[in-house]
Structure 1
C-alpha cells in the first residue's frame, strides 16, 4: 500500500506579534513588536516576547486563546486525533494556584475539554522539538491510513519557572536575540499557541518528510552530526536532494555556541551551495515546545501574503550564513529545523504545491 499524502489543511497562531495571523503579519511588516521585561525574582529580569495581555486567571486565558487559535483553522471534526505539544505544560497554572495540577496527560485532557474535543488526545513533550515531533507523529498516522486527519495544538504559555531555568543556565540574552548574529549573546524566550490541521485532502502546503534524531551526549546543546542526520533523513523520506531545497528555516535562536554548530552542520549538508535562510526568533522569540508549529504557521503565512521577515542585525561572517531579505524567486521546498534539550534534533520538509 502506498503512503497517503499529508497536507496542511488549516492553521492558526497567537504569539507576541498578535492574537491571530492577520495581526501577526501586520506586525511583521512593521518590523516586530517590543519586548516585555519579565522578573522572576528580585534582581533577575529578562526580556520576553509575550502574548498580548489578557484579563483573568491562567487557565481562563489559555482556554480563550486556544479556542481562538483552533477556530482560525476553520471548522474542525472534533472526533479526529488531537496532539497537544508543549514543553512547560501547565507550570504557569501550578505557579498561580500554588499546587500541582496532575500528570502530563492531565494538561492535554484539560486543553481538549476547553476546546470541546471528543477524539483521542495525545501529549507530546520533548522540550523544544515537541511541536515538530507532534507533527511527525500525526503525519505517520495519516500516511499509514490509520486516520485521514489530525490536529496539532502547540502551547507555550506564561510561567516563571522556565524563564528562571534558562536564566540560571546563563542562556538568555539581556536585550534581544540575534540569530547567527555577530554580537549574539543568548536566547530570548517567547509565548505562543499554534494549531496545524493535517489532512490527506489536497492543499497548498504538503508535508513531504521529516525525522527526529536524539544525541544523548549533548543534552543541553546542538550536535552537528545529529542535525545532519535529521536533515538527511527528512530529505530521503521526501525523495529530495540538498540542491532541491529553496529555503531553510534553521533553529538559529541566537546562542553563541549552538548557532555556530548548526551553521557548520548546514554548511556540510549543502556544501558550497547554501540556499537562502529565514529566521523568525527575533520576531516571536524562542517559543520552546510550541516553536515548531508557531514558526511553520508564521512562515507559510508570510509566503502566502508576500510579507517577509527581515533581520535587522549584523551577521557573524565567520559562520558563512546569510538571512534572505526577501522571499526567494523560486520557493518550492523548505527545510525546517528544530533543536531542543535532551539531545533532540528534528527536521521537516515542506512543499509549496502552488510553486
Structure 2
C-alpha cells in the first residue's frame, strides 16, 4: 500500500488544533437510539444492566450490561468476518454511514483510516465453536479462526466500506479505544490521511467474566462507584464509533441538505488528548494517581485549556476499591472540588476495550444534544476515605464548553480525552 503524504496541518505547530467529530454511532446497555439513551441517562437507570446466572465457573451470579437490540446482518462479501463482535460494531457504524460516505466522496478510499480498540474481538464466537467441537468433534462449518484475531474488527470495517488507508487495532486493555483518538490525531496532523473512523467494540464472553472474577474484581450486584460499599465491576458489551477529520465540515452528498451541528449550533471536536504509562503494577493503579494526573494535565495542555475550562469529568469509575480511591485523589489534585464528576459505568457496565469510546460517545451526546450531565448512580453512601470530588447530582446542567473523559488500564496505561465546542 502506497500512502500519499499531504501538506502537514500548520495549526498543529502553532497551537491547539481541534479534531472535528462528524457523527457518533453508539449501541450499549444504554440503548441504540438517542431518545432511549437520553431517557435512561436522565432516569438514572438502564434496564439492560441485568443479573445473570451460569456465566461464572463457580456458579456465582453477577450483573452484565447487555445489548438487546437486533444486530444488522453482515453482507455476503464480508461473510468470513461474520462475528457477533463485528455485527455489534456494525450496529454503531451504520449510524454514521452517511458522513463516512461523504468523506469517501470528498477524500477518496485511500485517504481514510480505521483505528479500533478492543480486548476480546471474536472470543465469544470462539467459545461457542470450541463447545461445539468438544461435543461433536468438529468446529461449526461457518467458523473461521480469523474471528479471534484482535485485528479483525479494523479489517472488517475497512472491507465493509472498501477503505484503502491504514487500518489497525489497538489493544491496551481498558484504554484501548481511548488511544485510538490519540493515534488518529497524529495521523491527521501528519497529513497521512484526511479522515479516520475511530472507536471500539467488545462483546460479552465467559473468558473475560471469569478472568475478572478470578481477580476478585467482579461485583455480584450493580456496580457502586465511589461508595463505601463498592466491591467491583460489572462487565458490559458495547460499540461506539466516530468519524474524525481536521475539517469542520464535510461536503454533503446532497448539496441541498444542510449540515447538522447539534442543539448547540457549534461544531464538536476532540480538543485534546493526554496519555501516560506509570507501570506501577500489572493490574493495580498507582495509589496516588500519578499516571492519571499526568494524563489529565497532558490533555489540558494539548487542548490549551485550564482545569477551570472543564465543565464535567467522566470518571473511569470502575467501582473497585483501588481505582476509585486513586481516581478521586487524581481528580481532586487537578480539578479540586468544583468540577462535576460521575462514572457512567452503572449505565453500561465496564465495556473493557470499548470503554473509552463508549464514554466518549456519552460526552458527545451531552454536547450535541445539550442534555443534563449523568448523575452519579450508587447507594448514596460515599466512602469517607476518598478525596473530595463534586459528584453529579440529578438535573445538573453543563455550564462550560468542554468535558474530559478518563480511562485507566492494566499496567498503568492511562488516557484522558477532552471534547468540546469549537468557536469559529
TM score, norm. by length of structure 2? 0.77
Distance 1:118 1:32 in 2: 39
CA shift digits 1:208-230 (9 cap, x unpaired): 21121112222212221111111
Change (3 A) 1:167 1:157: same
1:32 and 2:96 correspond: no
Distance in 2 of aligned mates of 1:336 and 1:139? 16
State whether residues 202 and 239 of structure 2, in contact with CA within 8 Å, keep that contact through their aligned partners in structure 1. Answer: yes
Deviation at 1:111, TM superposition (A): 4.5
* Separation of aligned partners in 2, 1:41 and 1:211: 38
5 Å matches for 1:99-248?
100-101=145-146, 103-114=149-160, 116-202=162-248, 204-223=267-286, 224-248=289-313
Aligned-residue offset at 1:5: 2.9
1:71 to 91, 94, 99: 94
Structure 1 residues 71-80 or 211-220, which shifts more? 71-80
What is the Cα deviation at residue 65 of structure 1? Answer: 3.2
* 1:305 to partner: Cα distance: 4.4
Aligned residues: 354
Runs of 4+ in structure 1 off by over 6 angstroms are 55-58
Q: How does 1:275-354 map to 2 (within 5 A)?
A: 275-303=339-367, 304-313=369-378, 314=380, 315-319=382-386, 320-325=388-393, 326-353=395-422
Q: 2:317 aligns with which of 224, 244, 252?
A: 252
Identify which range, 89-98 or 124-133, moves more after superposition. Answer: 89-98
Quickly say closer, same or farther: Cα 1:329–1:335, change in 2 above 3 A: closer
Task: Confirm whether residue 51 of structure 1 aligns to residue 103 of structure 2.
Answer: no
Q: Is the 1:222–1:258 Cα contact (8 Å) retained in structure 2?
A: yes
Tell me the CA shift for residue 354 of structure 1.
6.5
Indicate if the aligned counterparts of 1:132 and 1:292 stay in contact, CA closer than 8 A. Answer: yes
Is the CA contact (8 Å cut-off) linking 2:311 and 2:399 kept in structure 1? yes
Give the Cα–Cα distance (whole angstroms) in 1 for the partners of residues 126 and 88 of structure 2. Answer: 19
- RMSD value over aligned CA atoms? 2.5
Structure 2 Cα separation of the partners of residues 110 and 244 of structure 1? 39
Distance 1:107 1:301, change over 3 A: closer
TM-score (normalised: structure 1): 0.91
Gaps of 5+ in 1: none
Hey, what's the Cα distance between the residues in 2 that align with 1:329 and 1:61?
36
Task: Say which of 120, 137, 152 aligns to 1:88.
Answer: 120
| Aligned 8 A contact 2:89 2:239 in 1 | yes
Cα distance in structure 2, aligned partners of 1:177 and 1:21: 24
SS at match of 1:246: strand
Choose 201-210 or 12-21, whichever is displaced more: 201-210
Residues 59-96 of structure 1: CA distance to partner in whole angstroms, max 9, x if unpaired?
A: 45444432231121241145210112101122112212
Bigger Rg, structure 1 or 2: 2
Alpha-carbon distance in 2 for matches of 1:106, 1:68: 16
